[in-house]
Amino acid sequence: MEPYEMTLERILPEVSFGYGTIRVYRAPKLQALQTGYSDSPAGGPVGETVGGWRREWVVIGNEDCCGDPILIDSSAEGFPVYTAIHGEGAWKANQIAVSLEAFGRCLAAVARIATGRENPVAL
């Protein structure tokens, strides 16, 4: 299985449509993205609790409307992609793509149809 960092290199780093943008980051920025999720702001690991952040979750990006993280399950085949609403008191990951590769293909399709619709002015 190819490392997820290599797959991330082939995914568009930003896709905007209407009022929202999805950002996907490259390997050099991933460690910093984990702060507040799998790493505490003080730099140590966050302990796993019921409804807590799972160690195998890796934040790879975010959406800018609410700032919710986009994450992968680094322990699962194909690295399924999820999002989770922050500020709810517990993390409940909702799957949005069966794999990181599929997520990349979906973002590319959205980017194609969003041309000319990237922001409210373009709409």
What is the residue-level pLDDT of the chain in tens, covering all 123 positions? 689 999 999 999 999 988 889 999 999 999 999 988 886 665 555 656 667 889 899 999 999 989 999 999 999 999 999 999 988 888 999 999 999 999 999 999 999 988 887 777 766
**Domain-embedded: residue 31:** yes
Distance of alpha carbon 1 from alpha carbon 79, whole angstroms: 10
**Domain-embedded: residue 119:** no
**Domain-embedded: residue 120:** no
Cα end-to-end distance, the chain, whole Å: 40
**Domain-embedded: residue 122:** no
**Domain-embedded: residue 13:** yes
**Domain-embedded: residue 123:** no
Cα dihedral 55→44→83→59 (10° resolution): -90
Report field, pTM of the whole predicted structure over 0.95: no
Contact 18, 45 (CB under 8 A): no
- Please tell me the total count of domains within the chain: 1
| Structural domain of 92 | 4-114
Using DSSP, state whether 61 is helix, strand or coil.
strand
Q: Which of 65, 71, 60, 67 is nearest to 95 (CA)?
A: 71
**Domain-embedded: residue 46:** yes
